[in-house]
Structure 1
Amino acid sequence: MATGETGFDDVTFDLVSVQYHSLKAGHDYGQYVRDARNAGRDDIADFFQRVMDEDSARAKQCHEFLKELAGSADSGPAVS
């Protein structure tokens, strides 16, 4: 597995990136849910809630993969 300048392999970097963006988006979606509820659009609020739940599940899956990689030789020197 290739290791970039950061000492992390590409897969680890990619998982960290997806995890970060999923968590960041989830934070933003909380405001979207509130905005939709304040506008009386529970249908849209429910949609934003589903999107937030999906991002939360994505972040959790990344976390599980990262835990697996941390104990393997594939993680690169920055994670080992």
Structure 2
Amino acid sequence: MAGETQDTGTSDSTYDLVSVLYHCLQGVEMYEVYAADAEDDEELARFFEEITQQERERAERAKQLLAARLNRS
């Protein structure tokens, strides 16, 4: 619910953004491994590179949103 806090004392929205950021960055690491594994399959390697870039963009957006909210407090 909006405005509620986790047991950590962090608001739900801040906690959620941190979680999204963490999982995006974790995804980037894994997709890079998958792309390297697919080096013999150009189409598959391109797919993994594409989703790596999308994940990076999501991570960047999460960082921006998190920074804006942390600067408000």
**TM-score, normalised relative to structure 2:** 0.91
1:70 aligns to 2:73 (yes or no):
no
State the Cα deviation string for residues 1-34 of structure 1 (Å, max 9, x = none): 1122111111111110010001011001111111
Amino acid at match of 1:52: T
Q: Give aligned pairs, total.
A: 71
**TM-score, normalised relative to structure 1:** 0.84
Matches within 5 A, 1:1-80: 1-37=3-39, 40-73=40-73
Amino acid at match of 1:72: R
Contact 2:6 2:15 in 1 (8 A): no
Stretches of structure 2 that go unaligned for 5 or more consecutive residues are: none
Stretches of structure 1 that go unaligned for 5 or more consecutive residues are: 74-80
Q: Percent identity?
A: 32
State the Cα deviation string for residues 39-75 of structure 1 (Å, max 9, x = none): x2110000000111011101100000011001224xx
Q: Which runs of 4+ in 1 moved over 6 A?
A: none
Cα-Cα RMSD:
0.8
Structure (1 or 2) with the larger CA radius of gyration? 1
